[in-house]
């Protein structure tokens, strides 16, 4: 599941004429970094939700011939991350599936991170496994961190006044049954995360490499510079 229906307001004026997932970094649209990572992980079908400037998204995704892409249309009503997944569930099947944000990506480390997520997936203990970036190995992020991780990889929320080095990297594996009882109405995926935390079944996997988020126009330049530095290393 590729979450690509956001409005990209913080990216204006760039997103005045294009949806945020089509903003280019280092010669490639943001969404293509995620699609490429999923293809490398062996994914054969990707569901992409669309809302803002949806026709441009459709036209861009039609260029992909290496993977089946199913559009989940939210042009009539934006459903947020949680509701968007609920609407797409009929296309996702009964097994755990990857979820990715269309505006975060990374330069791979010693192995592909989505492959690492799958290798470390333990369904008997986990309902969700999130890819977690270290603040020291990221660009474009200016927050206080998202989670606290214990020695087993289990995640809890950081306290409001605290700072944590662990950032949700915009990718994970989730069980479809987590969404049982939810309607295709607007709600945040954070509700699902919090339910998994309460059940002690939210886990994280440390990302290898360099994680980048492109939320504002200046972050585009930071990501470009990171690619140049990586190529020169």
Q: In what order do the strands lie in the sheet with 104-108?
A: 104-108, 209-213, 138-139
- pLDDT for 62-100, tens place per residue? 999 999 999 999 999 999 999 999 999 999 999 999 999
**Whole-number percent of the chain with pLDDT over 70:** 99
pLDDT at residue 233 above 60? Answer: no
Q: Name, of 11-25, 163-177, 202-216, the range with top average pLDDT.
A: 163-177
- Check pLDDT > 90 for residue 131: yes
Is the Cβ–Cβ distance between 105 and 29 less than 8 Å? no
User: What count of other Cβ atoms lies within 10 Å of the Cβ of residue 16?
Assistant: 9
Bridge partners of residue 71, in order along the sequence? 48
Over pLDDT 90: what percentage of the chain? Answer: 66
Tell me whether residue 227 is exposed, middle or buried, using C-beta atoms within 10 angstroms of its C-beta: 0 to 12, 13 to 18, 19 or more. middle
Sequence-ordered alpha helix ranges (H) in the chain: 30-40, 54-61, 80-92, 113-119, 190-198, 217-232
């Amino acid at each position: 599941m590729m979450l690509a229906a956001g409005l990209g307001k913080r990216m204006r004026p760039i997103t005045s004429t294009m949806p945020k997932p089509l903003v280019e970094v280092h010669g490639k649209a943001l969404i293509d970094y995620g699609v490429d990572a999923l293809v490398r992980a062996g994914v054969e079908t990707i569901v992409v939700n669309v809302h803002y400037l949806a026709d441009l998204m459709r036209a861009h995704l039609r260029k992909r011939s290496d993977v089946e892409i199913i559009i989940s249309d939210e042009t009539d009503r934006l459903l947020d991350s949680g509701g968007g997944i609920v609407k797409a569930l009929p296309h996702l099947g009964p097994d755990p599936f990857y979820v990715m944000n269309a505006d975060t990506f990374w330069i791979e480390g010693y192995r592909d991170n989505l492959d690492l997520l799958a290798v470390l997936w333990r369904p008997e203990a986990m309902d969700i496994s999130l890819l977690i970036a270290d603040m020291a190995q990221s660009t474009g992020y200016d927050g206080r961190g998202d989670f606290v991780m214990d020695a087993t990889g289990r995640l809890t929320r950081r306290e409001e006044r605290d700072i944590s080095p662990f950032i949700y990297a915009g990718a994970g594996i989730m069980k479809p049954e987590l969404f049982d009882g939810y309607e295709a109405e607007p709600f945040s995926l954070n509700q699902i995360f919090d339910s998994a935390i309460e059940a002690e079944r939210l886990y994280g996997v440390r990302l290898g490499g360099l994680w980048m988020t492109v939320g504002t126009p200046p972050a585009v330049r930071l990501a470009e510079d990171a690619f140049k530095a990586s190529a020169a290393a």
